[in-house]
Amino acid sequence: MKIALVLGTRPEIIKMSPIIRFLEKNKNEYFIIHTNQHYSKNLDEVFFKELELPKVKYNLNVGSGLHGEQTARMMVRIEEIFLKEKPNKILVQGDTNTVLSASIVASKLKIDLGHIEAGLRSGDKNMPEEINRIVADHCSTYLFTPTENSSKNLLNENIKQKNIYMVGNTIVDAIQQNLKIAQKKSDIIKKLNLQEKNYILVTTHRAENVDNKNRLKRIFKGLGMLQKKFSIPVIIPLHPRTLSRIKEFKISIPKTLKIIEPLGYMDFLVLESKTRLIATDSGGIQEEACILHVPCITMRDTTERPETIAVGGNVLVGWDEDKILKYGIKMSKIDKVWPNPFGNGNSSELIIENLSK
């Protein structure tokens, strides 16, 4: 078995890291293609360093661009590499344009594709990620779902049961492998002068939020209101996409909010684990909040991670400032421990085991 692993963005590097470690440990034949969809040091290089990942064999240097242009550039290079290297299994993770491009190429070349995090559905086809997920799932031979709910979504789309492997989510593996190390290594709490459970952590980068001036304005208004109500620090490690939209739309951010550069995984994990509340529109951060038992408000109208809501750890608040405030207050008060719906941390092992069969 020769595996080609294709990744390109921050969450893919993090969620693929336990798989890479497992492949290294077991001396499997594999190589990594990095599309470089993410290329800024703090969205890319920092994770390879911190997670001690091996050098990638191919870096495609694709970078940013319009959807068609970016996806097409990836496809051209990925096809060349697949033809040259002749892998017999391809692994992709998630729902980015990197995943879309590798999935289409694998399917055209008739190479077995394994999709990690298969079966997630928000039901909102306006999200580029929803289209990417659907295409990737329908190109795949191995559909590695995190939960029963995601397996059901696939069965509803007539995908065969024999191709579905419920394995949990590799983010649980990543947290288990890194949280203790992070707590030892990171001094972010001290550096930002924070106190445990006495600050709020925020991220926002979803295209449908930040590319819309009205929504972006109202999200920051809501966060400002939340800060005023609690009088505690609100920390926002800002995605470069959001920064550029704030500048473009000339949105004024309340001075009370603390905007910082995107953080490495160790610092971010520590901030997540010790915060009073998370407000986000990220997919992975909804999962991490749930796994770490930190209450979360999700600034979107839909989620492809409904398990986080079902266990009581997450609530959808859209981009309405009053809802951000109301549910921010409500969620920050909940005091219960819910079960982790995303598996027990052996997903990478299960994925490689099933891929080898």
Among 179, 188, 263, 279, binds ligand UDP (CB under 6 A): 263
Q: By rule CB under 6 A, what string of x and - marks binding of each residue 35-74 to ligand UD1?
A: --xxxx--x--------------------x----------
**304 is a contact residue toward ligand UDP (CB under 6 A):** no
Is 60:34 a contact under the CB 8 Å cutoff?
yes
End-to-end, the C-alpha distance of the chain in Å comes to 10
* Span near ligand UDP by CB under 6 A; candidates 52-60, 75-83, 84-92, 280-288: 280-288
Please list the residues that pair with 113 across neighbouring strands: 90
Taking 3-state DSSP, the helix, strand and coil percentages for the chain, each rounded to the nearest 5, stand at 50, 15, 35
* 205 labelled catalytic: yes
142, interface contact from ligand UD1, ligand UDP, none, CB < 5-8 Å by kind: none
Please list the residues that pair with 143 across neighbouring strands: 115, 164
**3 is a contact residue toward ligand UDP (CB under 6 A):** no
93, interface contact from ligand UDP, ligand UD1, none, CB < 5-8 Å by kind: none
Q: How far is the CB of 88 from ligand UD1 (least distance, A)?
A: 26
Within 10 angstroms of residue 3's Cβ, the number of other Cβ atoms is: 21
Question: Toward ligand UD1, which CB reaches closer, 98 or 151?
Answer: 98
**18 is a contact residue toward ligand UDP (CB under 6 A):** no
Position 203, amino acid? T
* 25: CB partners within 8 A, 6+ apart: none
Helix, strand, or coil (residue 202): strand
| Selected catalytic residue, list 34, 38, 115, 205 | 205
Distance in angstroms (rounded) separating the CA atoms of residues 348 and 171 = 10
User: Where on the chain is the footprint of ligand UDP (CB under 6 A)?
Assistant: 10-11, 14, 203, 205, 237, 262-263, 265, 268, 282-285, 288
**Active-site positions?**
205
